[in-house]
């Protein structure tokens, strides 16, 4: 036990720059409440961190689009291809679906079945409408020979917008799962946390769409 | 039906990978059969495979890292021996095989040795140091581990089915595009990294949340041990950098699978964009690896010098400065690719600046040792070896950061020597320091010390013998990745380097021997008190190995070096603090989600590599169904009763009381 004996000789004389000690008898616990968060806060916070990482992934696709948007390889540019009416319609669908998702969240918190299922159904329908419009846009482009293999510009366009579309698709899958879960299990605390995370996810897709709408479509048409 | 997969995929004409692969899978299969025959399978399933306990997951990470280290080191030995033999001769490895070996070596060592080793240490230690019972998302933690294991499995599968990439550890286009790499090698690389990258990202999310949101009462940020700070910085870098890797590899996949033009030569593609994107991940990745190692050294140097860490606040500041600066230096990996003098100058300066916080850390460790009572146990030896080696590696790095010098040394063996200097000397020595330091905490018995010392000296000397010649060869103009050469001046240095690799091999042998000997003598080496090093942070306040709930009662923290104060009080008065009031503890139940999910992910990856689309769809649905099944369960926790908690804690307390009594008797 030589190590313990040496330690027993008393306090270290070298205490420099280590976090400040409590005053005798007056423990500094002012931050103590904040160090152990509730499960709801932990879930939502962790999911936000994940969403931030997702946004960083999109930012890489945005960067690639910014680099390649002029590389049309003699093919069509955004100005020749984009249909502003359809994009406006898509934007309306997605923003309204976010509103519906907010209604569903309030419904879940109020344990109001009509509000929750109604809101979720509206979210799903609007999301599906958005996807349908996107699929029609993509298939139209491919049909007129402006598919992703045509040029680097179109590659980056399809990847960026398609990645968002893929997120919406997975979001729909999650949405239906959450409706089924609440139907089967009720508004249990752990399921409510998932509803919260789903809402965060859906709203984040809106934020990203605002970026796509601006950088890809508006700036592409103004070019 | 089976996409591109035919019997021709089995490389019957290449005996080396085939035999090596068959032996490796034979050993793994043999162990599996042995485990089942011995009746250990249920134990393994219950306590390890489905465990969501951060300590068990950490141990599995480190086990994976060590197995992959053997594989990666085998590649290293093959490269060194090939270059020793290939002077005016073809050697024994044909070029297409040699290219696969250096690609696999880099990929494995960085992503499946260094990463899991560090993540394993973080898993075992951080929740204990924070004084809490688990990480934020325990089941997700298990998913992360098993996805990493999937990536490792897929890479090793390429030994016997198909081939691995020949494009280096970062698959630069246009070489990695379908036109120039039509085989499945690059696809193996891409899907392994995509799958394990998801696991790593989730680990990052998990630990950011854990460290920022779950700490014992009173554990304020400036009271956290430095290892927690470095784990936080590393996790933040994972969250910020790995999505870039995912996006970049996805673009290359789109190029290869669907004919996109991100990085192609034709149709406006831009290969240089790949360099920028991949290094925007790749450089932070270096710090993801080395920051936790810095944390390990901080803990080891302080504990084994019996002093608090010198300059705690400056250590925190340096860690976070590196965390930010890590994203501002990536272009120094391709100074020669024509970004222009001004851009090069900017990145040269940021690169030199990042040496400053690293230097602050070095001086802090030195001043921590100064005036301390240093115990030269293996963890301390690794730390001192690191200090010497890392300073050399850092200085050659600063040399390379000068663009004119870089133009001369780019892609030479000088560069290879530099990054092995910092990654072996920094990350791997850190991993071994942490392994020997926390082994008693994880398993309840210490590692035998004399073999540990011998292993250290073999590694240390072997490293210098193997890599210092590469600096010389770099100056002599030898480029990296050469399968054969005809310059007589190079040959003696390459023989020397091969001898160095053999000495390192002896070090690895001694480490295995140390593990075996320690296990056989575990009763003599038993750590009864839970505090074998006279530790300072909270992980030493609980028993070794800790109970599933880590702490019977959450500790209340009143200062830095949280456990030191408590221990001093007990040592002064020769009594333990009063027995606390025990309460029931809720713990997360085991879950097979991670394992089942990784099972499907393995098939998903394999199916995508070989274009077996129906299998990919089935596997994806399987993984989704696994998650839904997990989400459907009703009981997520189990309860440890207060009586049981009291029984377990009293054992720990009586061991400590006995140690105190012994101490009182000797005084």
Report the range of poorest mean pLDDT among B73-82, B360-369, B623-632. B623-632
Average pLDDT for residues B443-452, to the nearest whole number? 92
Neighboring chain B residues of A185 at a CB cutoff of 8 Å: 632, 634
Which one has a higher pLDDT value, B663 or B74? B74
Among A36, A158, A193, A197, the strongest candidate for a mutation testing the B interface, having the largest count of B CBs within 10 A, is: A36
Copy the structure tokens of residue B539: 């992980």
CA distance A156 to chain B (A): 7
pLDDT for residue B527:
86
Q: What is the pLDDT of residues B578-604, one digit of tens each?
A: 788 888 888 888 888 889 999 999 999
Percent of chain B residues past pLDDT 70, beyond the cut: 99
State the helix-helix crossing angle for B185-213 and B115-130, rounded to 10 degrees: 10
Among A2, A3, A7, A19, the strongest candidate for a mutation testing the B interface, having the largest count of B CBs within 10 A, is: A19
The phi, psi pair for B121, rounded to 5°, reads: -60, -45
Interchain proximity A56–B260, CB inside 8 Å: no
User: Per-residue pLDDT for B569 more than 90?
Assistant: no
For chain A positions 79-118, those within 8 Å of chain B (CB to CB) are none
Q: What is the pLDDT of residues B171-226, one digit of tens each?
A: 999 999 988 988 899 999 999 999 999 999 999 999 999 999 888 888 888 889 99
pLDDT for residue B666:
62
For chain B positions 365-404, those within 8 Å of chain A (CB to CB) are 371-373, 375
Q: What is the pLDDT of residues B331-352, one digit of tens each?
A: 999 998 888 889 999 999 999 9
Report the range of poorest mean pLDDT among B139-148, B501-510, B556-565. B556-565
> Around Cβ B516, how many Cβ atoms within 10 Å?
12
- Given pLDDT bands bounded at 50, 70 and 90, which one contains residue B450? very high
Q: Is B475 at the interface with chain A, CB within 8 A?
A: no
The model carries a pTM of 0.90
Q: Is B223 at the interface with chain A, CB within 8 A?
A: yes
- The overall average pLDDT reported for chain B is 90
pLDDT for residue B656:
82
Interchain proximity B373–A6, CB inside 8 Å: yes
Q: Residue B378 and residue B434: Cα distance in Å, rounded? A: 10
pLDDT for residue A32:
42
Q: Is A8 at the interface with chain B, CB within 8 A?
A: yes
CA distance A184 to chain B (A): 9
Interchain proximity B307–A12, CB inside 8 Å: yes
B64 in Cβ contact with B55 (< 8 Å): no
Q: What is the pLDDT of residues B398-442, one digit of tens each?
A: 999 999 999 899 999 999 999 999 999 999 999 999 999 999 999
Percent of chain A residues past pLDDT 70, beyond the cut: 84
Interchain proximity B218–A32, CB inside 8 Å: yes
Q: Is B262 at the interface with chain A, CB within 8 A?
A: yes
Residue of B nearest to A24 (CA): B558
- Classify the C-alpha dihedral B508-B510-B516-B518 as positive or negative: negative
User: Per-residue pLDDT for A134 more than 70?
Assistant: yes
pLDDT for residue A35:
60
Q: How far is CA B466 from CA B245, B295, B463, in A?
A: 31, 27, 5
Helices and strands counted in chain A (H then E): 9, 0
Interchain proximity A149–B258, CB inside 8 Å: yes
State the helix-helix crossing angle for B490-520 and B54-85, rounded to 10 degrees: 150
User: Per-residue pLDDT for B106 more than 90?
Assistant: yes
> Around Cβ B242, how many Cβ atoms within 10 Å?
27
The DSSP output letter for B554 is -
Of B209, B313, B314, the CB nearest to A45: B209
Q: What is the pLDDT of residues B278-300, one digit of tens each?
A: 999 999 999 999 999 999 999 99
Residue B439's closest CA among B321, B301, B333, B296? B296
User: Per-residue pLDDT for B664 more than 70?
Assistant: no
Average pLDDT for residues A130-135, to the nearest whole number? 94
The phi, psi pair for B637, rounded to 5°, reads: -120, 160
Instruction: Give kind and range of the element (H or E) at residue B638.
Output: strand B637-640
For B641, half-sphere exposure in the C-beta direction (CA atoms, 13 angstrom radius) is 3
Interchain proximity A18–B560, CB inside 8 Å: yes
Neighboring chain B residues of A15 at a CB cutoff of 8 Å: 308
Which one has a higher pLDDT value, B42 or B468? B468
- Given pLDDT bands bounded at 50, 70 and 90, which one contains residue B385? very high
Neighboring chain A residues of B250 at a CB cutoff of 8 Å: 159, 163
Interchain proximity B247–A60, CB inside 8 Å: yes
CA distance B312 to chain A (A): 5
Interchain proximity A37–B261, CB inside 8 Å: no
Of A37, A50, A173, the CB nearest to B214: A37
Q: What is the pLDDT of residues B493-532, one digit of tens each?
A: 999 999 999 999 999 999 999 999 999 999 888 888 888 8
pLDDT for residue B91:
86
Residue B365's closest CA among B341, B397, B390? B390
pLDDT for residue B584:
87
B378 in Cβ contact with B447 (< 8 Å): yes
Neighboring chain A residues of B255 at a CB cutoff of 8 Å: 155
B514 in Cβ contact with B452 (< 8 Å): yes
User: Per-residue pLDDT for B17 more than 50?
Assistant: yes
Q: Is A71 at the interface with chain B, CB within 8 A?
A: yes
pLDDT for residue A28:
44
DSSP-derived 3-state class of residue B250: helix
pLDDT for residue B659:
80
Residue of B nearest to A4 (CA): B534
Interchain proximity B204–A190, CB inside 8 Å: no
The DSSP output letter for A31 is T
Average pLDDT for residues B472-493, to the nearest whole number? 92
CA distance B163 to chain A (A): 27
- Given pLDDT bands bounded at 50, 70 and 90, which one contains residue B667? low
Interchain proximity A4–B312, CB inside 8 Å: no
Percent of chain B residues past pLDDT 90, beyond the cut: 62
pLDDT for residue B115:
94
- Given pLDDT bands bounded at 50, 70 and 90, which one contains residue B638? confident
The phi, psi pair for B577, rounded to 5°, reads: -60, 160
User: Per-residue pLDDT for A189 more than 90?
Assistant: no
The DSSP output letter for B585 is E
User: Per-residue pLDDT for A21 more than 50?
Assistant: no
User: Per-residue pLDDT for B140 more than 70?
Assistant: yes
- Classify the C-alpha dihedral B269-B270-B275-B277 as positive or negative: negative
Q: Any idea which residue has 């616990």 for tokens?
A: A29
A153 in Cβ contact with A69 (< 8 Å): yes
CA distance B42 to chain A (A): 30
For chain A positions 36-55, those within 8 Å of chain B (CB to CB) are 36-37, 41-42, 45-46, 49-50, 52-54
Interchain proximity B561–A18, CB inside 8 Å: yes
């Amino acid at each position: 036990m030589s190590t313990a004996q040496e330690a027993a000789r008393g306090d270290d004389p070298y205490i420099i720059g280590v976090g400040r000690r409590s005053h005798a008898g007056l423990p500094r616990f002012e931050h103590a409440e904040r160090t152990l968060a509730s499960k709801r806060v932990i879930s939502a916070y962790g999911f936000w961190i994940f969403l931030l990482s997702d946004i960083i992934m999109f930012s890489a696709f945005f960067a690639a689009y910014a680099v390649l948007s002029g590389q049309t390889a003699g093919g069509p540019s955004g100005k020749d291809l984009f249909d502003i009416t359809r994009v406006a319609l898509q934007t309306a669908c997605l923003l309204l679906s976010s509103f519906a998702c907010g209604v569903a969240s309030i419904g879940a918190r109020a344990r109001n079945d009509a509000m929750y299922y109604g809101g979720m159904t509206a979210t799903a329908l609007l999301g599906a409408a958005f996807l349908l419009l996107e699929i029609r846009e993509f298939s139209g482009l491919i049909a007129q020979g402006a598919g992703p293999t045509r040029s680097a510009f179109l590659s980056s366009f399809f990847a960026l917008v398609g990645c968002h579309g893929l997120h919406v698709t997975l979001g729909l899958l999650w949405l239906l799962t959450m409706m089924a879960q609440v139907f089967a299990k009720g508004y249990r605390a752990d399921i409510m946390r998932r509803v919260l995370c789903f809402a965060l996810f859906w709203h984040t897709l809106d934020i990203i769409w605002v970026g796509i709408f601006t950088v890809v479509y508006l700036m592409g048409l103004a070019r | 039906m089976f996409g591109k997969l035919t019997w021709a995929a089995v490389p019957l004409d290449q005996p080396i990978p085939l035999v090596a692969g068959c032996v490796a899978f034979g050993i793994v299969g043999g162990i599996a059969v042995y485990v089942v025959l011995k009746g250990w399978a249920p134990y393994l399933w219950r306590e390890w495979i489905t465990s969501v306990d951060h300590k068990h997951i950490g141990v599995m990470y480190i086990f994976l890292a060590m197995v992959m280290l053997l594989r990666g080191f085998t590649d290293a030995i093959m490269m060194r021996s090939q270059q020793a033999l290939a002077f005016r001769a073809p050697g024994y490895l044909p070029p297409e095989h040699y290219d696969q070996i250096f690609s696999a070596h880099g990929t494995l060592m960085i992503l499946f040795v260094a990463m899991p080793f560090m993540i394993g240490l973080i898993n075992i230690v951080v929740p204990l140091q924070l004084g809490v019972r688990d990480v934020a998302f325990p089941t997700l933690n298990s998913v992360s581990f098993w996805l990493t294991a999937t990536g490792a499995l897929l890479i090793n599968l390429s030994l016997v089915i198909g081939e691995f990439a020949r494009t280096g550890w970062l698959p630069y286009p246009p070489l990695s595009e379908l036109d120039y790499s039509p085989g499945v090698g690059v696809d193996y690389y891409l899907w392994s990294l995509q799958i394990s990258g998801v696991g790593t990202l989730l680990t990052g999310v998990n630990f950011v949340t854990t460290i920022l949101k779950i700490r014992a009462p009173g554990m304020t940020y400036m009271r956290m041990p430095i290892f927690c700070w470095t784990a936080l910085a590393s996790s933040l870098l994972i969250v910020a950098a790995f999505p870039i890797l995912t996006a970049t590899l996805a673009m290359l996949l789109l190029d290869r699978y669907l004919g996109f033009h991100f990085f192609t030569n034709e149709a406006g593609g831009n290969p240089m964009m790949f360099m920028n994107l991949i290094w925007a991940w790749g450089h932070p990745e270096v710090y993801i690896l080395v920051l936790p190692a810095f944390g390990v050294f901080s803990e080891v140097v302080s504990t084994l010098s019996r002093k608090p860490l010198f300059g705690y606040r400056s250590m925190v500041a340096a860690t976070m400065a590196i965390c930010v600066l890590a994203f501002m230096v990536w272009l120094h990996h391709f100074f020669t690719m024509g970004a222009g003098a001004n851009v090069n100058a900017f990145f040269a300066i940021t690169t030199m600046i990042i040496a400053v916080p690293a230097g602050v850390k070095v001086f802090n460790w030195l001043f921590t040792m100064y005036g301390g009572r240093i115990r030269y146990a293996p963890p301390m030896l690794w730390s001192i070896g690191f200090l010497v080696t890392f300073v050399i590696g850092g200085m050659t790095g600063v040399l390379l950061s000068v663009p004119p010098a870089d133009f001369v040394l780019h892609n030479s063996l000088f560069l290879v020597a530099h990054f092995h200097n910092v990654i072996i000397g920094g990350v791997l020595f850190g991993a071994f320091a942490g392994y020997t330091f926390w082994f008693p905490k994880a398993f309840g018995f210490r590692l035998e010390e004399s073999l540990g010392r011998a292993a250290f000296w073999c590694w240390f000397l072997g490293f210098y013998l193997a890599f210092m010649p590469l600096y010389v060869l770099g100056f002599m103009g030898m480029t990296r990745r050469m399968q054969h050469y005809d310059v007589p001046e190079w040959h003696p240095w390459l023989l020397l380097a091969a001898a160095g690799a053999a000495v390192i091999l002896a070090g690895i042998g001694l480490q295995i021997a140390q593990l075996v000997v320690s296990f056989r003598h575990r009763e003599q080496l038993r750590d009864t008190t839970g505090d074998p090093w006279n530790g300072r942070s909270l992980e030493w306040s609980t028993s070794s190995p800790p109970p599933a709930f880590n702490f019977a009662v959450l500790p209340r923290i009143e200062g830095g070096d949280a456990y030191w104060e408590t221990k001093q009080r007990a040592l002064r008065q020769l009594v333990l603090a009063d027995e606390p009031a025990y309460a029931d503890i809720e713990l997360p139940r085991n879950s097979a989600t991670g394992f089942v999910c990784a099972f499907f992910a393995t098939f998903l990856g394999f199916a995508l590599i070989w274009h077996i689309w129906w299998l990919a769809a089935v596997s994806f649905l399987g993984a989704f169904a696994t998650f839904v099944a997990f989400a459907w369960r009703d009981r997520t926790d189990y309860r440890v009763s207060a009586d049981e908690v009291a029984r377990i804690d009293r054992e720990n307390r009586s061991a400590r009381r006995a140690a105190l009594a012994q101490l009182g008797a000797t005084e």
